[in-house]
Amino acid sequence: MTTDQAAERATTPDVGEASLAATLPALRAAFPGAVVRAMVGNHQAVICVAPAQAHAVLAWLRDDPGQRFNYLTDVTCVEHRDPELPFEIVYQLRSLDRKADLRVKILLDPDGPLRVETVFDLWAGADWLEREAWDMFGVVFVHHPDLRRILMWETYSEGHPLRKSFPLRGRWSRSEQTRQALADNPEAQYSLEELSISEAYRALPKDMVERLAAHPREQAT
């Protein structure tokens, strides 16, 4: 790195700091008491919010004209080995217009019930992300329209594999695991009906529906 570059780097504001400065004061004003903690780590703005207000805060972050976080990059969880530390549900948000990132965390008691409100109504892309978080960590996303396992098969009976209490090799013996896996009938749960065209038709963008309507033969019933 040349000295010029180093100097430039020292004077450019940190993207995390900038993102936090753009969001935190407005968020505190809109939801007094909702922010539990806010920090910047690795150039990434992180805001921890109280579980009760999380859904309202996330809706505000999406809709407020000053925020416009219109893209949900990821939903995932963090469980720490230290039992004192809370269980985290992580929403990685991005504003495509403002080119800003924000990480929102909900901190839960690891021993309590892991339940949060779904954000499927805010970002439709949360569907599979939340299903994965349910499958791997056992977090219940209340009001999720279709909270089923997504990585493990649906009759999987050993629990939620990414929890710290889950044994690495699983709970049953290898022969029992093999027996249960072979007994699974994939067609029973993963069928073409799941990808039914008629259902997808309703979710298509309006202009596409109009174009398809011009060819009635291809239109789904």
CB of 183 to other proteins, least distance (A): 5
Question: Are 142 and 116 contacting, i.e. CB atoms less than 8 angstroms apart?
Answer: yes
Task: Select the residue interacting with other proteins from 13, 113, 186, 216 (CB under 8 A).
Answer: 186
Between CA 129 and CA 110 the distance in angstroms is 20
Listed ranges 26-34, 84-92, 110-118, 178-186: which one lies at the site for other proteins (CB under 8 A) = 178-186
DSSP characters over 61-72: HHH-TTT---EE
Rule CB under 8 A: is residue 80 a binding residue for other proteins? no
User: What does the chain come to in residues?
Assistant: 221
Listed ranges 35-43, 176-184, 191-199, 211-219: which one lies at the site for other proteins (CB under 8 A) = 176-184
Q: Classify each residue of 18-45 as buried b or exposed e, where b means 16 or more C-beta atoms within 10 Å of its C-beta.
A: ebbebbeeebeeeeeebbeeeebeeebb
Listed ranges 18-26, 62-70, 104-112, 175-183: which one lies at the site for other proteins (CB under 8 A) = 175-183
Rule CB under 8 A: is residue 174 a binding residue for other proteins? yes
Listed ranges 18-26, 62-70, 122-130, 161-169: which one lies at the site for other proteins (CB under 8 A) = 161-169
Question: Are 101 and 117 contacting, i.e. CB atoms less than 8 angstroms apart?
Answer: no
Rule CB under 8 A: is residue 184 a binding residue for other proteins? yes
Q: Between 95 and 134, how does the x/- string for binding to other proteins read (CB under 8 A)? A: ----------------------------------------
In this structure, how many other beta carbons lie within 10 angstroms of the beta carbon of residue 122?
Answer: 19
Listed ranges 67-75, 89-97, 138-146, 183-191: which one lies at the site for other proteins (CB under 8 A) = 183-191
Nearest to 104 by CA among 46, 59, 33: 46
Residue number, 31 or 156, with CB nearest to other proteins: 156
CB of 153 to other proteins, least distance (A): 5
**Burial category of 153 from C-beta neighbours within 10 Å (exposed 0-12, middle 13-18, buried 19 and up):** middle
Rule CB under 8 A: is residue 170 a binding residue for other proteins? yes
Residue number, 155 or 219, with CB nearest to other proteins: 155
Q: 51 by DSSP, 3-state: which?
A: helix
Distances (CA, A) of 155 to 79, 110, 132: 24, 25, 15
Rule CB under 8 A: is residue 158 a binding residue for other proteins? yes
Name the residues that contact other proteins, by CB under 8 A. Answer: 151-153, 158, 161, 166-171, 173-179, 181-186
